[in-house]
């Protein structure tokens, strides 16, 4: 019984790793164009492995933050706490959160006024454009 | 950003401790769903869920992480006057990256 559960979990993990790898590939491509470099396949694979493992750390931390606040649902406050180490990230998160709230309320508006919704507004959260800070020059490193 | 479609679907033979069982068919996961499942994979408690806004923020955080890792590795390669970024450049940038996150 436990073995089947573990196998299922592993298969899910595989799918997720593949999804992460795909997205990492896309993001690396943007950086490639931006900085005029080329990433070797191994380095892209390494970045996606690192990201996947970092997710585990994030997940456990988030769960603990939520539990510390006596909640079972992870909220944006927990995520902001997660990003505390980097100075610029904390500021960025604040802005991003504001846009999240706007985005959520926008989505509700759209549901009601479907006929008038234009393509320009889109479902893309403004937050995605905010976080285009590639090199955190002023991150907490000297 | 679309997620890759899974080749394998969970057989769902036995109920697992997560609130929702994984999908049975290889339906592609939406980006949001992917983040949610990624986190839930590692939660100790089956009851822990993630707020929708928090999911978006985590997705954003992960994207920043990836971009940062890529940019730092690229910078390392450029410092060595190379155009091809290899794992050794990533290795050099990794310690500081992990400390910063």
* d(C-alpha A41, C-alpha A31), whole Å: 14
* Distances in whole angstroms, Cα of residue B74 to Cα of each of A135, B78, B86: 11, 6, 9
Q: Answer yes or no: do B6 and A18 touch at CB < 8 A.
A: yes
The torsion of the CA quartet B27, B29, B33, B37, rounded to 10 degrees, works out to 80
Query: What single-letter DSSP state applies at residue A73?
Result: E
Are the CB atoms for A37 and B74 separated by under 8 Å? Answer: yes
B40: tokens are 């839930």
For each of the domains in chain A, give its residue range(s) and CATH number, in order of start: 13-72 (1.10.20.10), 75-112 (no CATH)
In this predicted structure, what is the pLDDT of residue B28? 52
- Tell whether A54 is within 8 A of chain B (Cβ): yes
Q: Answer yes or no: do A141 and B100 touch at CB < 8 A.
A: yes
Residues of A whose CB is below 8 A from B67: 27, 30-31, 134
pTM of the model: 0.71
Residue B84 pairs with which residues in a beta bridge?
A38
pLDDT digits (tens, 9 = 90+) for A53-88: 999 999 999 999 999 999 999 998 899 899 888 888
A98: tokens are 């504001």
ipTM confidence: 0.71
- Tell whether A63 is within 8 A of chain B (Cβ): yes
Average pLDDT score over residue span B39-57: 89
Residues of B whose CB is below 8 A from A16: 34, 37-38, 41
- Tell whether B94 is within 8 A of chain A (Cβ): yes
For each of the domains in chain B, give its residue range(s) and CATH number, in order of start: 31-100 (1.10.20.10)
């Amino acid at each position: 019984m436990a073995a089947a559960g573990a196998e299922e979990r592993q298969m899910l993990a595989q799918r997720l790793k593949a999804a992460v790898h795909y997205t990492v590939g896309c993001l690396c491509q943007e950086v490639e164009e931006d900085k005029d470099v080329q990433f070797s396949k191994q380095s892209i694979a390494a970045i996606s492995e690192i990201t996947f493992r970092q997710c585990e750390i994030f997940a456990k931390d988030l769960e603990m933050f939520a539990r510390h606040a006596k909640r079972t649902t992870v909220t944006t406050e927990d995520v902001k706490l997660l990003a505390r180490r980097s100075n610029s990230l904390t500021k960025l998160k604040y802005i991003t959160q504001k846009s999240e709230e706007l985005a959520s309320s926008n989505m509700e508006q759209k549901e009601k006024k479907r006929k008038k919704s234009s393509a320009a507004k889109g479902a893309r959260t403004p937050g995605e454009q905010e976080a285009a800070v590639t090199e955190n020059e002023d991150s907490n490193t000297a | 950003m679309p997620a890759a479609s899974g080749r394998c679907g969970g057989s769902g033979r036995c109920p697992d401790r997560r609130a929702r069982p994984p999908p049975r068919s290889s339906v592609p996961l939406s980006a949001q769903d992917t983040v949610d499942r990624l986190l839930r994979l590692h939660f100790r408690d089956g009851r822990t869920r993630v707020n929708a806004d928090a999911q978006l923020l985590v997705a954003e955080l992960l994207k920043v992480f990836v971009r940062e890792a890529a940019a730092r590795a690229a910078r390392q390669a450029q410092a060595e006057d190379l155009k091809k970024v290899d794992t050794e450049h990533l290795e050099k940038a990794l310690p500081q990256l992990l400390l910063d996150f």
